[in-house]
């Protein structure tokens, strides 16, 4: 019972941290502002997350749990599930904003999320190559190998998120992503 309540409190803190990072970025976020949002003192927050970096790591791990539920099924990732993931992302701008802000910050010197993102992108590119190989074999209709297409698929997802966050009325993210899949599939009518 105490354990369940503690888990709930952790989840609350993570939600608050996501919001604060979306609003101010990681460097602009303070433990005090996260604590305030969940009605804890800063000392109380430190019981759950002893440092700001520990909280960031937990936020990033939480992201992976979401992505796992959104982009893959029991057998792994599939191209049509990626389409659903992008549609799902278009309904949760707050979370996309948090991770787009963190990705941007992560390329600054010594940022605590840098290693996470570097390793994650290596993993994502490898997963994407597997997905593409499963669907298309060793050569996509558009002429690329899965290994050539994987960083492009990843780049399109990230790059579209920035354009969409800046101006959701100008960029239909799911539709643009489907256009890209059409390119990968070799174009023509669809």
Q: In terms of CB distance, is 77 or 164 closer to its own copies?
A: 164
Compute the radius of gyration of the chain from its Cα atoms: 19
Report d(CA 166, CA 158) in Å as an integer.
13
Binding to its own copies in span 67-86, by CB under 8 A: none
Residues sharing a CB contact under 8 Å with residue 37, sequence separation 6 or more, in sequence order: 16, 19, 20
In 3D space, the residue among 111, 5, 8 whose CA is nearest the CA of residue 52 turns out to be 111
Q: Which of 121, 127, 130, 135 binds its own copies (CB under 8 A)?
A: 121
Q: Which residues of 122-160 are buried (b: 16+ CB within 10 A; e: fewer)?
A: eebbebbbebbbeebeeebeeeeebeebbebbeebbeeb
Strands of the chain, DSSP E: 72-73, 76-77
| Contact by Cβ (8 Å): 5, 16 | no
The nearer residue to its own copies, 73 or 155, going by C-beta atoms, is: 155
The reply to whether 33 sits near its own copies by the rule CB under 8 A is no
Which of 7-15, 78-86, 116-124, 129-137 is the region at the interface with its own copies (rule: CB under 8 A)?
116-124
102 binds its own copies (CB under 8 A): yes
Among 60, 101, 131, 132, binds its own copies (CB under 8 A): 101
In the set 48, 49, 117, 136, which binds its own copies (CB under 8 A)? 117
Residues in contact with its own copies by the rule CB under 8 A: 22-25, 27-28, 97, 100-109, 114, 117-118, 121-122, 125, 140-144, 148-149, 151-152, 154-160, 162-163, 165-167, 170-171, 176, 179-180, 182-184, 186-190
């Amino acid at each position: 019972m105490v354990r369940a309540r503690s888990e709930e409190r952790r989840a609350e803190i993570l939600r608050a941290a996501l919001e604060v990072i979306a609003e101010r970025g990681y460097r602009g976020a303070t433990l005090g502002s996260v604590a305030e949002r969940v009605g804890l003192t800063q000392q109380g927050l430190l019981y759950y997350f002893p440092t700001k970096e520990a909280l960031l790591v937990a936020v990033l791990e939480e992201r992976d749990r979401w992505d796992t539920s959104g982009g893959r099924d029991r057998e792994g990732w599939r191209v049509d599930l990626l389409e659903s993931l992008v549609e799902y992302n278009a309904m949760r701008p707050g979370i996309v904003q948090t991770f787009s802000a963190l990705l941007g910050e992560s390329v600054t010197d010594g940022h605590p999320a840098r290693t996470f993102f570097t390793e994650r992108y290596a993993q994502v590119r490898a997963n994407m190559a597997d997905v593409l190989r499963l669907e298309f074999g060793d050569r996509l209709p558009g002429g690329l190998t899965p290994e050539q297409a994987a960083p492009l698929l990843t780049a399109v997802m990230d790059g579209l998120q920035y354009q969409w966050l800046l101006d959701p009325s100008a960029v239909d993210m799911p539709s643009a992503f489907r256009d890209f899949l059409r390119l990968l599939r070799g174009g023509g009518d669809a």
